[in-house]
Amino acid sequence: MQPFRKGQYQARLAETPEDIRAAQRLRWLCFIARNEAGDGGDQIDSDALDAECRHMLVEDMATGQLLCCFRFLPLSGGSEIARSYSAQFYDLDALADFDGPMVEMGRFCIHPEARDPNILRIAWAAMTRFVDEAGIEMLFGCSSFTGTEPEEHAEAFAMLKERHLAPRRWLPRVKAPKVFRFARALRLRKPDPKRAMAAMPPLLRSYLAMGGWVSDHAVVDSSLRTMHVFTGVEIRAIPPARKRLLRAVAG
């Protein structure tokens, strides 16, 4: 995928070890330093999957500052889903039957001091361009809520239970040792749609706007102090108007 620019921002694939290191530093700032878990050291967030992934960078062209990054892992189909980061936390056996190209998007983060919504738009445009060029049929990943107390996110979870659960044929099963089964626990709770959507993480709101669906439980990650839900988007199910909007930015 070739780099492209919109306004003051540029989206491009990491090309050098230094590029990847910059992404890992931004991830550390967003995922670890915010929890006061950083103790100096290398101040990077990294794991073994970094070597298998491609890394997307969104930079301010005027300053060269990295404002947003994410990584993605292309898979030929569901038969490879055990390679994914998400498979560490969810039983994804149901998705092993998915017979089209897939991509897992992960470690998505935006610099905590960046406020321009166009940063998120160009990041999605970059992923849209990749999805179109590679013929991807499903996009998936983990969407995180900050904080590990279920009641903090009850309104949003109730909304997910009410309108956005995965189709039964793809539904992830429980694998992680600590989960909150919100579809069961909140089965009688009726969400307030406005409050629920306001409580959704921005990345998850974007997935849902594309017709995305989620697992029926959230995994509790005590080390990062988050709760996350498996999230999937079948590309052919994205509403046409949303596709046109994404491609207009990516074009």
Q: Set out the domains of the chain in order of their start, with CATH numbers.
A: 4-250 (3.40.630.30)
So what's the pLDDT on residue 248? 81
**41 pLDDT tier (thresholds 50, 70, 90):** low
Q: What's the mean pLDDT when you consider all of the chain?
A: 93
Query: Which residue is associated with the tokens 């997910």?
Result: 160
pLDDT, mean of residues 102-130? 93
**Structure confidence by residue, pLDDT tens digits, 172-197:** 999 999 999 999 999 999 999 999 99
**In the predicted structure, residue 42 carries a pLDDT above the cut 80:** no
Query: Which residue is associated with the tokens 């969810």?
Result: 90
